[in-house]
Structure 1
Amino acid sequence: MRGHSFNRRLILSKSTRITDGAGGFVREWREQGAFWANVTMRSGDLKHTEFGRTPRLRVRIITHAIPDGHAMRPTTGDRLIDGGRTYEVQAVHDDESHLLSILASEVPPGEPV
């Protein structure tokens, strides 16, 4: 395992569309379950918006390999909740040592879903 300690419990949330009762749809996040992982920072910067600057944190998440198609395998656009932080999955990659590498960015508090 190359020294990875899976010391963070992450909750996987997947987006679903539900009707809003007025002919449209709203996005709702539903928890799929949890898994243990190692979370390390890749980079951080300030994103410029019309309301000022917002901090943006990018992380690399390492966990045990999860087969393609499994309900607990994160995909691009899914969210991972780590305590008070929420990360949006940007990329998922299996490596040769039976680990799953996930690249994600923190979702700023108060950002619309």
Structure 2
Amino acid sequence: MSGPRPTVPLVVESPLREPDGMGGFRLTWQEVGRIWAEMRSGAGAERLAEVGAQSVVTWRITVRAAPAGDPRRPRPEQRLRLGEGAHARRFRIEAVAESDAGGRWLVCVAKEEAPA
């Protein structure tokens, strides 16, 4: 049996809260690592958004496991980015679990974020 085929380059991003100059904060994203992944789309759904219906797709993203504490080891508060600039796609990580008994692979359950 063969394992996952990580052929998609992704960037791991962590959220940062930065002062907005008016006493509050704004959320920005900082690159913390680059990884290769296998991506498989899952179930889709429709949700009601401010401007009407919005499609939401869940993704199973499999990556090589990095040691605990390594910044390239994805965590639920992070996101994964595919591509650069205005056309980049972003996937919010909701859960991470080991996918094999040896702990060599991680599966990230993520939802694709709507473009900002």
What is the TM-score when the length of structure 2 is the normalising length? 0.87
Deviation at 1:62, TM superposition (A): 0.6
- Answer with 35-44 or 94-103: which moved more: 94-103
- Equivalent residue number for residue 51 of structure 1: 51
Deviation at 1:46, TM superposition (A): 1.4
Q: How many corresponding residue pairs?
A: 110
Amino acid at match of 1:15: P
Deviation at 1:57, TM superposition (A): 1.0
- Equivalent residue number for residue 89 of structure 1: 93
Q: Percent identity?
A: 31
Deviation at 1:19, TM superposition (A): 1.1
Q: What is the rounded CA distance, in whole Å, between the counterparts of 1:73 and 1:13 in structure 2?
A: 11
- Equivalent residue number for residue 39 of structure 1: 39
CA-to-aligned-CA distance 1:4-41 (integer Å, 9 cap, x gap)? 21110011110011111222111110111210010001
Q: What is the rounded CA distance, in whole Å, between the counterparts of 2:69 and 2:33 in structure 1?
A: 15
Find out whether 1:108 has 2:84 as its counterpart: no
Deviation at 1:49, TM superposition (A): 2.1
What is the TM-score when the length of structure 1 is the normalising length? 0.89
What stretches of structure 1 of length at least 5 have no aligned partner?
Answer: none
Amino acid at match of 1:32: V
Q: What is the rounded CA distance, in whole Å, between the counterparts of 1:25 and 1:39 in structure 2?
A: 33
Amino acid at match of 1:87: F
What stretches of structure 2 of length at least 5 have no aligned partner?
Answer: none
- Equivalent residue number for residue 72 of structure 1: 72
- Equivalent residue number for residue 17 of structure 1: 17
Q: CA RMSD in A?
A: 1.5
